[in-house]
Amino acid sequence: MKEKQRMEAKQDIIILGIETSCDETSAAVLLNGQELKSHIISSQISTHQKYGGVVPEIASREHCVHISQVVNEALKQAGLQFDNLSAIAVTYGPGLVGSLLVGVSFAKALAYAAGIPLIAVNHLEGHVYANYLEHKNLEFPLLALLASGGHTNLIIFKGHLDYEVIGSTRDDAAGEAFDKIARALGFGYPGGPNIQKAAVGGNKTAFDFPRAMLEPGSLDFSFSGLKSSVLNTLNSARMKGESLNSSDLAASFQAAVVDVLVQKTLKALDRFPAKTFALAGGVAANSNLREALQKELNLREVRFVYPSPVYCTDNGAMIALAGYYRYLKQDFALWKLNAIPGLSL
């Protein structure tokens, strides 16, 4: 009976996704690329909060402590065992090397022991694929704006896993700028959600911060000038003994980031007409950004999608989904798979 159930289950494509690139230990079980059977996220935010940011060595150690429990819980909630799985998908980069190695080694050992394929997933592809968790039939060409803690990219997808990067940040990523300004304003980690909260009720025109558009036609980003401008404003006020309204500062800073992201997206859509526009990465959780994009995209014939906040930040479900599309291509990793901290798209 058990054997029969196993054979039946084997007809389905069941992917276990594992994510440990930064400070979330997460695992999810996905059935046929459609149905999330379980999703567990163990966040380390409270551990890192007292240091004002992620401490890499502590992050690796925390993954080491929690990974077995997170994976077991994901399987238990899905009502499955290792031998029901079709493959194990794991993030192998980009991210913190120690954190990535925990996930990669764990996934490798499990896949080897279960005799099933191992799938190497690029974390950044995972963020874009988070959109497929809740939205079906997304048509190509699909333009994606990925804005996370380490990356800001515009990517045009012609088909599944068939894409070209058309814009990248030349310095700070959008999320990184949020985190650095939050720290300077004393809001702490994680910066993005704290800035968004502080900006509520603030005057977004109180400070005229720069919006770097770069050379005409460029789809690249630069946030370091904006970051310096906010820090200079804060420092010169401090030197004069003046106090500034932090809600106004947060609102003005956020408006500058949102303006740049929206303007670059519209430019990209002019050059690369797309049927779908997908927002992805931690900054996609920002409601001001979503609203500003929605307003502009309502005027165009483009379907606009973004993940629920839980799927914007790091999670195992998006890794399982990106892994599912690699599985369909039979694109499996070798047992010598290593973590690649600087992996790009």
Chain contacts with ligand KG4 (rule: CB under 6 A): 22, 127, 148-150, 175-176, 178-179, 190-193, 196, 281-283, 285-286, 313-314
Nearer to ligand KG4, 84 or 265 (CB): 265
Nearer to Zn ion, 148 or 265 (CB): 148
Report the nearest approach of ligand KG4 to the CB of residue 23 (Å). Answer: 9
**Which entry of Zn ion, ligand KG4, none binds 209, CB below 5 to 8 A by partner kind?**
none
Report the nearest approach of Zn ion to the CB of residue 195 (Å). Answer: 18
- Per rule CB under 5 A, count of chain residues that contact Zn ion: 2
d(CA 102, CA 142): 33
Stretch that binds Zn ion, among 162-170, 215-223, 286-294, 310-318 (CB under 5 A): 310-318
Q: What is the 3-state secondary structure (H, E, C) of the chain?
A: CHHHHHHHHHHCCEEEEEECCCCEEEEEEEECCCEEEEEEEEECHHHHHCCCCCCHHHHHHHHHHHHHHHHHHHHHHHCCCHHHCCEEEEEEECCCHHHHHHHHHHHHHHHHHHCCCEEEEEHHHHHHHCHHHHCCCCCCCEEEEEECCCCEEEEEEEECCEEEEEEEECCCCHHHHHHHHHHHCCCCCCHHHHHHHHHCCCCCCCCCCCCCCCCCCCCCECCHHHHHHHHHHHHHHHHCCCCCCHHHHHHHHHHHHHHHHHHHHHHHHHHCCCCEEEEECHHHHCHHHHHHHHHHHCCCCCEEECCCHHHHCCCHHHHHHHHHHHHHCCCCCCCCCCCCCCCCC
Report the nearest approach of Zn ion to the CB of residue 249 (Å). Answer: 26
Report the nearest approach of Zn ion to the CB of residue 194 (Å). Answer: 18
Neighbour-count burial of 144, counting CB atoms closer than 10 A to its CB (0-12 exposed, 13-18 middle, 19+ buried): buried
Nearest to 263 by CA among 302, 207, 221: 221
d(CA 187, CA 301): 39
Report the nearest approach of ligand KG4 to the CB of residue 134 (Å). Answer: 17
Report the nearest approach of ligand KG4 to the CB of residue 338 (Å). Answer: 19
Site membership for Zn ion, residue 148 (CB under 5 A)? yes
Report the nearest approach of Zn ion to the CB of residue 242 (Å). Answer: 37
Report the nearest approach of ligand KG4 to the CB of residue 50 (Å). Answer: 17
Nearer to Zn ion, 86 or 122 (CB): 122
Among 314, 320, 327, 339, binds Zn ion (CB under 5 A): 314
**Which entry of ligand KG4, Zn ion, none binds 169, CB below 5 to 8 A by partner kind?**
none
Nearer to ligand KG4, 88 or 128 (CB): 128
Interface characters, 263-302, with Zn ion (x: CB under 5 A)? ----------------------------------------
Report the nearest approach of Zn ion to the CB of residue 284 (Å). Answer: 10
Stretch that binds Zn ion, among 44-52, 68-76, 146-154, 301-309 (CB under 5 A): 146-154
CB-nearest residue to Zn ion: 314
Reading the block at residue 210, the tokens are: 């720069």
Q: Residue 156: what residue type?
A: I
**Which entry of Zn ion, ligand KG4, none binds 179, CB below 5 to 8 A by partner kind?**
ligand KG4
Nearer to Zn ion, 31 or 41 (CB): 41
Reading the block at residue 310, the tokens are: 């839980």
Site membership for Zn ion, residue 315 (CB under 5 A)? no
**Which entry of ligand KG4, Zn ion, none binds 178, CB below 5 to 8 A by partner kind?**
ligand KG4
**Which entry of Zn ion, ligand KG4, none binds 286, CB below 5 to 8 A by partner kind?**
ligand KG4
Nearest to 103 by CA among 19, 165, 159, 179: 19
Q: Residue 85: what residue type?
A: L
Tell me which residues touch Zn ion (CB under 5 A): 148, 314
